[in-house]
Amino acid sequence: MLRESKSRFFANGRVYSLLTEDDYPVEVTDTFLPFYTKDAIGKKQNTLQNYNLGSRKERWMVGVSCMSGCPVGCKFCATGQLKKWRKLSAEEIVEQVMFILERNPEYSPTECKEFKINYTRMGEPFLNIEEVKKAISMIDEKFPNVHHYISTIGVSGSDFSWIKENVTLQISLHSFDEANRDWLIPFKKKMSITELGKIRTHSNLKTTLNMTMVSESDFDIEKLKKHFDRDAFFIKLSPINPNATSDDNHISEGVISAKNLV
């Protein structure tokens, strides 16, 4: 049973710190946005047009953790502040979703325009993939309109054949410069840029190629065109969310000055 230890409000939602029965911390987010922000492809960005932040009846997103802590150690990720890590069970992942729903009894996931589970908080999903897949099946049974969005660094040997329909993949590339990518994501068993570009899924949506831009030299339009077919990939450039780890590594500024709401 997960229990709440603390939480923090922000403009369009709330982030919770939970504790597992054996006292491992887990982070889960509850956010919402106006429905028009979904159309990032047509508008080429998804920034807010005004101060109206919409509600959970429009786009409702629950960001879950697949692990407490994370062994990957990305240079801009606050998870690196935790000294130990462990994989979460499928039940502990589903429980995070139910925790958020219980705190919002006035909203129903089946009535909002988009209900999305983002596997984007603590942990690399593909290092705990059997439990993540079990959690997806359990959530699908409860909420037939749900969409799952799984963010990975691209762990070597991962199987993507099961990614289809309402499950979408996001690859966190961050840099086309292999040496800088190795520094930003210091995990040895990761796929090369060439291997990442060959990923194909049967999802209803294109695979997202995410780049949290630290420096302009991380971007290379020629390599982007060479490796990532525009018919298979949607390119997303994200700002850094400053935190103690990114401060320690002197990369809190990044290239994009706009800030995420979360």
Nearest to ligand SF4 of 139, 153 (CB atom): 153
Interface stretch with ligand SF4, choices 4-12, 69-77, 189-197, 213-221 (CB under 6 A): 69-77
- Using rule CB under 6 A, residue 28 touches ligand SF4: no
- Using rule CB under 6 A, residue 26 touches ligand SF4: no
Nearest to ligand SF4 of 56, 121 (CB atom): 121
- Using rule CB under 6 A, residue 207 touches ligand SF4: no
- Using rule CB under 6 A, residue 73 touches ligand SF4: yes
Residue 194: strand, helix, or coil: helix
Minimal CA–CA distance to 123: which of 79, 93, 157, 160?
Answer: 79
Angle between helices 90-102 and 129-142 (to 10 degrees): 40
CA distances in angstroms from 176 to 120, 211, 238, listed in the order given: 21, 9, 15
Report yes or no: 214 and 251 within 8 Å, Cβ to Cβ: yes
Report yes or no: 207 and 171 within 8 Å, Cβ to Cβ: yes
What number of chain residues touch ligand SF4 (CB under 6 A)? 11
- By CB under 6 A, name the one of 29, 31, 68, 79 that touches ligand SF4: 79
Q: Rounded distance, CA 110 to CA 13, Å?
A: 19
Q: Which of residues 124-183 bind ligand SF4 (CB under 6 A)?
A: 124, 153
Interface stretch with ligand SF4, choices 6-14, 68-76, 107-115, 233-241 (CB under 6 A): 68-76
Nearest to ligand SF4 of 193, 240 (CB atom): 240
- Using rule CB under 6 A, residue 122 touches ligand SF4: yes
Tokens linked to 214: 């630290």
- Using rule CB under 6 A, residue 214 touches ligand SF4: no
- Using rule CB under 6 A, residue 242 touches ligand SF4: no
Q: Give strand pairing partners of 86.
A: 68
Interface stretch with ligand SF4, choices 71-79, 199-207, 218-226, 227-235 (CB under 6 A): 71-79
**Sign of the alpha-carbon torsion through 70, 73, 76, 79:** positive
- Using rule CB under 6 A, residue 63 touches ligand SF4: no
Angle value at C-alpha 63, between 59 and 68, nearest 5 degrees: 175
First to last CA, the chain: 26
Q: How far is the CB of 122 from ligand SF4 (least distance, A)?
A: 5
Nearest to ligand SF4 of 112, 184 (CB atom): 184
- By CB under 6 A, name the one of 61, 74, 191, 209 that touches ligand SF4: 74
Q: Rounded distance, CA 130 to CA 90, Å?
A: 8
Report yes or no: 234 and 206 within 8 Å, Cβ to Cβ: yes
- Using rule CB under 6 A, residue 254 touches ligand SF4: no
- Using rule CB under 6 A, residue 191 touches ligand SF4: no
- Residues in the site for ligand SF4, rule: CB under 6 A? 70, 72-74, 77, 79-80, 122-124, 153
